[in-house]
Amino acid sequence: MKLTTRQLAQSALLLAVCIISQYFKNFSVYITGPIVNTVIIIAVLSVGLWSGLLISLIAPVTAFFLAGSPIMAAIPLLFPAIMAGNAVLAVTVWYFQNKVNFQYHLPVGLIAGSILKAAFMGVVIVLILLPAFGDAIAAKLPKPEALPAVLATAKVTFSFTQLITALIGSLLAYLIWLPVQKFIKRNQVEG
């Protein structure tokens, strides 16, 4: 696959938006999460699947370095699980946009991608990783007796919260994509 300078620049710009949004992670995951999901989806729709996958892989790493997380520090396997969850969203959106042909294929793909991402992360992180490695989190906490509360929060964060932020991100991406798609088509016709 040959990448153009324009595609690389577009991907870098989208990645920059993603990274900037991660500075707000400590304010609310309901700010950062939807923006990251929106960026992944817009990358897939406007640049291509590889761009969305690249951002899917980089976003959890930059989020960790910018905001930190005792849970991710204690369970490094969360990185590939989150990356894979993001990739599930990207691939699902790409599939519905490019391989499915019915009237509302993109909205259905956005909803399906959001549900599949949350389900994947819920199974892998909540049902497998947290129970298997939850005790490692206690060593990273200032107060190890807070472990049950931290695990309870993590279970919600990596399941239900993922669904909500992915759905919000999907809605934002859809609203952004409608005029962007028209702009892209108009420029292709003129150029």
CATH number at residue 125: 1.10.1760
- By C-alpha distance, which of 60, 51, 67, 164 is closest to 117? 164
Which H/E stretch holds residue 70?
helix 70-74
- Mean pLDDT, 10 residues at a time, the chain of 191 residues: 86 95 84 96 96 96 84 88 98 97 95 98 94 82 80 90 97 96 80 57
Cα pseudo-dihedral 4, 8, 13, 18, rounded to 10:
140
Count of Cβ atoms closer than 10 Å to residue 61 Cβ: 13
What pLDDT is attached to residue 53?
A: 97
Sign of the four-CA dihedral 101, 107, 108, 113: positive
120 and 88 in contact (C-beta within 8 Å)?
yes
Establish if 144 belongs to a structural domain: yes
Establish if 35 belongs to a structural domain: yes
pLDDT in tens, 96-121: 999 999 999 999 999 999 999 999 99
Range of the structural domain that residue 77 is part of: 5-182
Using alpha carbons only, give the angle 42, 62, 41 rounded to the nearest 5 degrees.
10
- Output the CA–CA distances (angstroms, integers) from residue 155 to 9, 62, 89, 101, 138, in the order listed: 36, 22, 19, 36, 15
The reported pTM is 0.91
Establish if 189 belongs to a structural domain: no
What pLDDT is attached to residue 54?
A: 96
For 99, list phi and psi in degrees, rounded to 5.
Answer: -120, -10
What letter does residue 68 receive in the DSSP assignment?
A: -
Q: Report the C-alpha gap between 149 and 184 in whole angstroms.
A: 48
What pLDDT is attached to residue 34?
A: 96
For residue 151 the two structure tokens come to 């695990």
Report the domain count for the chain.
1
For 3, list phi and psi in degrees, rounded to 5.
Answer: -100, 135
Number of alpha carbons in the 13 Å side-chain half-sphere of residue 50 = 8
Question: Token pair 């995951």 is at which residue?
Answer: 29
Cα pseudo-dihedral 40, 87, 32, 75, rounded to 10:
-160
Establish if 187 belongs to a structural domain: no
Q: Report the C-alpha gap between 31 and 78 in whole angstroms.
A: 21
